[in-house]
Amino acid sequence: MNILISNVRLLDDERGVRRDVYISGSRIAGIDEKPEGFTPEVTIDGSHRLCMPGLVNAHTHAYMSVFRNYADDLPFEEWLFGKIDPLEGRMTPEQAYWGTMLSITEMIRTGTTCFIDMHMFPNTCVRACADSGIRAFITRGVVGEDRRDEGGQRRLREAFEEIEYAKSEPKAHVRFGLGPHAIYTCGEDFLRYVGELAAERQLPINMHLAETQFEYDSCMKEHGMSPVAYVKSLGLFHVPVILAHCVHLTDEDMESLCDPNVTVVTNPASNMKLGNGFAPVARMLKEGICVGLGTDGASSNNALNMFREMGLLTLTQKGANLDCLALTAEETLKVALDGGYRAAGLADEGGRVEKGRLADLILLDEEAPNFQPKHSMKAALAYSSTGFEVTDTIVNGEILMRDRRLMTIDEERVNGEVARAVSGF
Ligand code: NI
């Protein structure tokens, strides 16, 4: 489809500069310069809009929206093993699908065009992506003791089968990796095995790491190494690896994470809500580590709203470091955009409003009261935005939300199905 966004402001533009953005198929076909033979099938009036790349929610568990506001204000271990795990064990794929659709609804409404998922229900996320049109990087969460562990083998098999299944869903814009859950749910040999499989099949790895003080202390006691040093020693950095959290780090860890294969994904709301602390994001950036931003699942956040997350990230970094320059508005946007696109393997394809890049774009209402006066749009996005200033969301050249109306999702149905799914909790 050919789409013209006319007279719109881009993020880096001075006040008063307006541009025309031409979209053809899945890509941006031109800025200000009309491509040859281009006739727009849809024209979006951008005169009161800001246009920017869609955000990448670089760590979440989309199916977990069904647990939103269900198990709050509990210690981490009790929350995960006492409340969430038992319910997850009884959850059906259909419930997981509707939970994922609910997450996608919130993400499209708040300007997320791609998310990195770790799930437990094969094929449900692929289906939800195909049905909604959003982009995703999907990893089936795997746990196991060692390479002979039957449960671990089954989960890995499901992960590989899902990659095959996705070929039957041509409308799903998805990529895949392997998702060893964490060092406290995966044994040493199992982690080594996952690393070998990932290298063999050229699949990135997505895992939780160094999230809690308890995890850090246990790893030091058991392996005599920090969590980062431990997974590095198992060969997990030989492929692109996404490390969610990284709250508890040593000086040596900072050096190890400064690796072209590593992207750390910070989740400030989840870390604070579960009482896990503040990831040293400002320092990581200074050390040259690539950092992206995620919300984590809806039971430890409890929103999947990347604008809210950006606000929390910058404010907590300033507060925790007693330094108002710890993370500027510009740096915050860079984390959310550059870090996210790299984590998703899209660094060269998306993340900029430029000719030839993916048409994964969002428009925001420049006239929103919390954006006035228009001194700095970057400050507005990092400090003032609620996420609901997003009016239009485009993924792969397809309009998923037009003037705040969802085009691919029946919201009422999603809410109803989710309510039905949780009625048995
Ligand atoms: Ni997580």
- 17-70 pLDDT, tens digit per residue, is 999 999 999 999 999 999 999 999 999 999 999 999 999 999 999 999 999 998
Tell me the C-alpha distance between 294 and 64, whole Å. 14
Residue type, 341: Y
The CA 159 to ligand 1 mean position distance, Å, reads 18
The CA 299 to ligand 1 mean position distance, Å, reads 10
List C-alpha distances in Å: 351 to 19, 31, 55, 342: 18, 15, 8, 9
Tell me the C-alpha distance between 206 and 209, whole Å. 10
What CATH code is carried by the domain that includes residue 32? Answer: 2.30.40.10
pLDDT in tens, 146-194: 999 999 999 999 999 999 999 999 999 999 999 999 999 999 999 999 9
pTM to 2 decimal places: 0.97
How does the average pLDDT of the chain come out, rounded? 96
Tell me the C-alpha distance between 156 and 332, whole Å. 35
Q: Find residue 45's DSSP bridge partners.
A: 6
Do residue 259 and residue 330 come from a single domain? yes
The answer as to whether 34 is a domain residue is yes
What CATH code is carried by the domain that includes residue 265? Answer: 3.20.20.140
Do residue 132 and residue 193 come from a single domain? yes
Produce one character per residue of 36-71: b if its CB has 16 or more CB atoms within 10 Å, e if not: eeeebeeebebeebbbbbbbbbbbbbbbbbbbbeeb
Task: To the nearest 10°, report the CA torsion of 148, 150, 152, 158.
Answer: 120
Q: What is the pLDDT of residue 76?
A: 77
The CA 85 to ligand 1 mean position distance, Å, reads 13
Q: What is the pLDDT of residue 228?
A: 98
The CA 297 to ligand 1 mean position distance, Å, reads 6
Mean pLDDT of 297-326: 96
Q: Domain range for residue 17?
A: 2-53+354-404
Tell me the C-alpha distance between 6 and 301, whole Å. 36
The answer as to whether 128 is a domain residue is yes
Do residue 83 and residue 145 come from a single domain? yes
- Count CB atoms within 10 A of the CB of residue 376: 14
Contacts of 263 (CB under 8 A, 6+ apart): 58, 240, 241, 242, 243, 290, 291, 292, 339, 342, 343
Q: Could you tell me the pLDDT band of residue 89, with boundaries at 50, 70 and 90? A: confident
The CA 245 to ligand 1 mean position distance, Å, reads 8
Q: What is the pLDDT of residue 376?
A: 92
The CA 24 to ligand 1 mean position distance, Å, reads 36
Q: How many residues does the chain have?
A: 425
Do residue 392 and residue 277 come from a single domain? no
Mean pLDDT of 202-228: 98
What is the DSSP pairing of strand 291-293 with strand 361-365? unpaired
Do residue 216 and residue 257 come from a single domain? yes
The answer as to whether 11 is a domain residue is yes
Residue 225 has pLDDT above 90, yes or no: yes
The answer as to whether 363 is a domain residue is yes
Do residue 101 and residue 229 come from a single domain? yes
Mean pLDDT of 190-202: 98
Residue 79 has pLDDT above 90, yes or no: no
Q: What is the pLDDT of residue 100?
A: 98
The answer as to whether 119 is a domain residue is yes
The CA 244 to ligand 1 mean position distance, Å, reads 7
Tell me the C-alpha distance between 97 and 100, whole Å. 5
Q: Find residue 116's DSSP bridge partners.
A: 137
Domain count, the chain: 2
Roughly how many angstroms between the first and final C-alpha of the chain, as a whole number? 43
Q: Are 136 and 129 in contact (CB under 8 A)?
A: yes
Mean pLDDT of 230-239: 97
Residue 74 has pLDDT above 90, yes or no: no
Residue 71 has pLDDT above 90, yes or no: no
Residue 118 has pLDDT above 90, yes or no: yes
Going by the DSSP 8-state scheme, the letter that residue 137 receives in this structure is E
The CA 117 to ligand 1 mean position distance, Å, reads 9
The CA 207 to ligand 1 mean position distance, Å, reads 8
The CA 118 to ligand 1 mean position distance, Å, reads 7
Residue 410 has pLDDT above 80, yes or no: yes
Do residue 16 and residue 165 come from a single domain? no
The answer as to whether 418 is a domain residue is no
Do residue 67 and residue 38 come from a single domain? no
DSSP letters for 114-141: EEEEEESSTTHHHHHHHHH--EEEEEEE
Do residue 116 and residue 212 come from a single domain? yes
The CA 32 to ligand 1 mean position distance, Å, reads 41
The CA 296 to ligand 1 mean position distance, Å, reads 5
Q: Is 101 helix (H, G, I), strand (E, B) or coil?
A: helix
The answer as to whether 279 is a domain residue is yes
- Nearest in space to 134 (alpha carbons), one of 118, 110, 165, 162: 110
Do residue 13 and residue 151 come from a single domain? no
